[in-house]
Amino acid sequence: MPIERTLTIIKPDAVAARHIGDIIKIFEANQFTIVAARLVHLTKEEAEGFYAVHRGKGFFESLTRFMSSGSALVMVLEGENAIARLREVMGATNPAHAAPGTLRKIYAESIERNAVHGSDAPDTAAYEIGYFFPGIELV
Ligand code: ATP
Ligand code: MG
């Protein structure tokens, strides 16, 4: 399995609920190494740029308002097969469909306020890591 880097965000709902520590504990228990981290409060424009692929969808306005509503913890995680494995640890977008034990099953409030973000493929991981950590090595 290749060593990869992926981008995760502990979203404003989970930060406000004081779940940063719980979620990092699960990342580390799953053999992810934190190689970069920033606590941010995104502007609406930064949230729109990050989720630009979703511009035009019905949930875009509400999603970007939510993502800019409070502090979020952005991290680069490294590990074997990190991109796909993080998505498994996160669980389905909608917590109602997320498998037991996944982060979204445990911590998400709704399909929008769903606690964590994770890059979904190597090209999006590269874009998203560069969005928050310009200059960092991608692998
Ligand atoms: P993320 O990109 O945040 O890791 P994801 O890849 O599981 O999530 P996407 O389809 O990329 O899901 O959607 C991005 C985010 O937009 C979701 O995590 C969620 O916060 C929000 N979202 C997606 N679909 C809906 C929806 N139908 N209604 C409300 N919010 C939604
Ligand atoms: Mg996504």
4 CA → ligand 1 middle, Å: 23
- Per the structure block, which two tokens stand in for 93? 């977008």
Give the residue extent of every domain in the chain. 3-132
Q: Mean pLDDT, the chain, as a whole number? A: 97
DSSP 137: -
Identify the pLDDT of residue 139: 65
Q: What is the pLDDT of residues 64-97, one digit of tens each?
A: 999 999 999 999 999 999 999 999 999 999 999 9
- In three-state secondary structure terms, 98 is coil
Share of the chain above pLDDT 70, in %: 99
CA distance 15 to 113: 11
Q: Whose CA is nearest to atom 30 of ligand 1?
A: 112
Instruction: Kindly tell me if the per-residue pLDDT of 107 is higher than 80.
Output: yes
Work out whether strand 116-118 and strand 3-10 pair parallel, antiparallel, or are unpaired: antiparallel
Q: Give the domain 3-132 fold.
A: Alpha-Beta Plaits (3.30.70)
CA distance 100 to 87: 14
User: 137 falls in which pLDDT band (50, 70, 90)?
Assistant: confident
Residue 117 Cβ < 6 Å to ligand 1: yes
Q: Please tell me whether the overall predicted TM-score, pTM, comes out greater than 0.85 for this model.
A: yes
Active site residue 97: no
Q: Whose CA is nearest to atom 13 of ligand 1?
A: 93
Q: What is the pLDDT of residues 51-60, one digit of tens each?
A: 999 999 999 9
**Exposure on the CB side of residue 84, measured as CA atoms within 13 A:** 5
| Strand order through the sheet with 3-10 | 33-40, 72-80, 3-10, 116-118
CA distance 129 to 134: 7
